[in-house]
Every structure is written in structure tokens, then in C-alpha cells.
Amino acid sequence: MIRPSIGLLGRIVAILLLAVTIEFAVSTYLYERASHVSVRDDEARRLAEHLIVARRVLNERPAFERPEVAEELTTDRYIVSWSPSALPRPTIAPAMDSMRRQIVDWEPTLAATDIHLRLTSPGRTSVVSGDLRLDDGTLLSFRMREGVRTLDLALGRVLLALIPAIALMLLSGALIGRILQPLRMLARAADKLGRGQGGQGAPLIVPERGPGEVRHVTRAFNRMQARIGRLIDERTRALAAVGHDLRTPLARLRLRADAIHDDEVREAIGTDIEEMEAMVASLLAFLGGDGDAEQPELTDLAILCANLADDAADHGRDVHYVGPDHFDCRLRRFGVKRALTNLVENALHYGEHAVITLRADPGDDVRIRVEDDGPGIPEESLELVLEPFVRLDIARRRDTVGFGLGLSIVARVVATEGGELTLANRPEGGLCAEIRLPHCRT
């Protein structure tokens, strides 16, 4: 299973987003915490002033009047009550110790009152309550009417602070994308070069732009492509010379063989010459494939397949074509014809019957199948036979002509067209070779 990968631009943008998000979240949190400290400081000062006044008034009144006085001391901000109990309730919110210290700092006289603070409804917004001792040991209890935020990350402020961060991230992504544009151009050029579209004729020169490292890589790629082009040119010229030099003595041998009166000897020599010619032709076709300057052109693929079947039938072979009468595609006609010819010859060499099937999928993929009734190929060797110079003599007969380059040439031609060649054994026996050509329809 192929896992989807994240591109370099996506990774850089993700890192920027993570860094900016963490930075703004942390800074906003610290800002909120600082503002809460300030709010609590103000609240502590107001509460301290109110407690000093309430304690002084209640200390001056007799016990039976204190409930009514406490009710009068209740405001829209604080609820005050009096209790004759001499024991204070335990503190249940140690986090309120800082606020207690602030109250005592504002009114030091409250330090001797054994003041306690607690949270009566703990949560994100909690109500602060507490009590302190009067001079006679009774308790003055108090409670804030409004809750105090004890834990608030201020998500609204975080999101608001992230707006410029996201805008900055998008701007950074656009700038990084512009920086990476030369790398994308280099990747496209390398892909085209890998498919044989370059290196000879019109080279795929990539402009040297971007940062120094990118320019260095681009320059190295252009130099490599120039060297590959020179190697291909030299190899093509050498192969052409070798092919000419080999074909000339073969032609002389054929002429001399025709003068032999012994029919059996003449046919044997003619068979050897044909085998040598086939070997030279396959070798030149394979080694000279990268130098093929053929350009895609509009081709009736149905007629091409039908003609191959008719030519084989004219030579007494059982080949049938199944498919539409006409089917126009834009492809390299001679290359595809060479590939299909190799598949048909391969099918007829190992089987008695062959069928060429042409059909188009709804997704505009064109599929060509060449099926035979031969022995097939062992499952473990279906990919191996696509390698050059591989001949499975155990599975097939040993009278194979050539170097074992037929399927390798087909795979190369199909790859040049941007397609795919697959081999599979038929359930009823024989081999099915399928060529898939995507997006070749006009």
C-alpha cells in the first residue's frame, strides 16, 4: 500500500502553522493570566475595603442586631451574613491563598481575623466565598454575587490573535511556493527525461533560478542531461554503423545461400540468417529506443490492430481482431505497431491461436489485449520476463529467436506513451498481455 506523502511546501507550511499557533496560544494565555492577576488584585482591594467596614460595624452592634445589620451591609456585589458559630469552615481552595494574601496586603488588620477564602462552585467561572472572625469569636461570612474566572484560556482571543498569524502563514506559504517553483520545474523535467522526452534533439533545459542550492542542483541536472544526450547520440550512431555492417554480410550470405543446390542445406542456412537478422533487429530496436524521435500523431488504432491480424492471417496464422472498426488515438504509431507486432509474434510462437482485443474504458483509458493459447508463464516470473535479455526456457520452448528483448521493447514503448503493460495467465490456459494507454483519445 502506497502511503500518500506530504510535499516539501506542505511540510514547511505545516511547521510554520504549528510554530505560529503555539507562539500565539502561549502568548495569549500568558496575557490572559496577567490580566486575571490584575482583575483579582482590584477585586481583592474592593473586598478588603468592604470587609473592614462590615467587621467594624458588626463588632459595634449587639449579637441580636447583627443579622439585620449584615443584611443591610449586603450590596449588589457582596452578600454578607453573620453566624454565631465559633469554628470557621475549612478552606477548600488553596488556589485562593494568593487572593487572601492580596486582601491582607491591602488591609493588614485582617491578618488577625483568621480570614478564609473558598470556591463555592468550582469550575471555569467560580464563586468566591469566605469568612473571618469578629472580636467575640463569631463569624462574618461573605460571598461574591459574580463569579471569578479561575481558569480561562480565552479561546475567542486566541482565535482573534490567530487571524494575523494565519494571514502571515498564507503569505509565507506563497513566498515559499515561489521559492520552490524551480524545484517543481526540475522535477517535471526529470520526469520527462525519465520517460525519454529529452536528452536528444531539443534538450529539456531548466532555467537556473531560485536559491543557490537549487541553482546548483539545476545546473548539475542540465549538465547531466547534456552528457546523456551525447551518450545517446554516440550510441545511436554506433548502433547504426554496427547494424549496417552486420546486415551487409548477412545479405551476401543470403545471396550465396540461394546458389546452393541442396534444398535442405539452403533452408537451414536461410533459417540461421533469418535468426541472425531477427537478433540484430531486436537488439537495435532495444538499444536505439531512446533515440527514437517519433512524435505522437493521430492514428486509427482499430485499423492498426486489424491490419496486424490480417497480415498474420495472410501468412497462414490464426489471429483474430475483436473491437471497433475505427478508433482514433494520438500516439507514436510506429512504436505502438512495433510493440503490438512483438506481442503477436510472441503469442504465435508459443501458441497456435491469438486474439487482439481493443476496447476503451469509461475513464478514457484504452486497453489492447493480445491473448494466446500457449503454455503461459509461471506466476513468479511474470515480472521477470519484462527485464531485458531474459528467456524462460523452462516454461517455453527452446527454439526462441532473438535475445529475449521482445517484451522489454514492448514495455519501453508503452512506458514512452505513458501507459502500462501487464501480463497474466488466462484461467483457460495461455497468456494475456494487456496494454493500457491513458488519455490517448482525441
Reported as a single tens digit per residue, the pLDDT across 280-291 is: 766 666 665 544
CATH (domain of 393): 3.30.565.10
| 426 plus 300 within the same structural domain | yes
Instruction: Give the structural domain span for 375.
Output: 294-438
Side chain identity at 175, as an amino acid letter? Answer: L
| 95 plus 141 within the same structural domain | yes
In a domain, 214, yes or no: no
In a domain, 228, yes or no: no
In a domain, 278, yes or no: yes
In a domain, 58, yes or no: yes
Say which residue, 159 or 324, is predicted with more confidence: 324
| 327 plus 307 within the same structural domain | yes
In a domain, 219, yes or no: no
| 259 plus 383 within the same structural domain | no
| 52 plus 81 within the same structural domain | yes
Domain boundary among 100, 134, 149: 149
In a domain, 204, yes or no: no
| 251 plus 272 within the same structural domain | yes
| 355 plus 265 within the same structural domain | no
Mean pLDDT of the 412-432 span:
88
Q: How many domains does the chain have?
A: 3
Question: Quick one: pLDDT at residue 6?
Answer: 55
pLDDT digits (tens, 9 = 90+) for 193-248: 766 555 444 566 778 777 777 778 888 888 888 887 788 777 777 776 776 677 77
417 pLDDT exceeds 80?
A: yes
Backbone torsions φ then ψ of 349, nearest 5 degrees: -70, -35
Cell of 178: 515561489
| 431 plus 318 within the same structural domain | yes
Cell of 328: 482514433
In a domain, 189, yes or no: no
Domain boundary among 111, 130, 149: 149
Query: Residue 189's pLDDT band (boundaries 50, 70, 90)?
Result: confident
Domain boundary among 125, 149, 173: 149
38 pLDDT exceeds 90?
A: no
Is the pTM value of this prediction over 0.75? no
The answer to whether residues 434 and 407 touch, using CB atoms and an 8 Å cutoff, is: no
| 317 plus 268 within the same structural domain | no
| 283 plus 300 within the same structural domain | no
Which of 2-16, 357-371, 393-407, 423-437 has the highest average model confidence (pLDDT)?
423-437
Side chain identity at 63, as an amino acid letter? Answer: A
In a domain, 360, yes or no: yes
| 135 plus 271 within the same structural domain | no
| 22 plus 140 within the same structural domain | yes
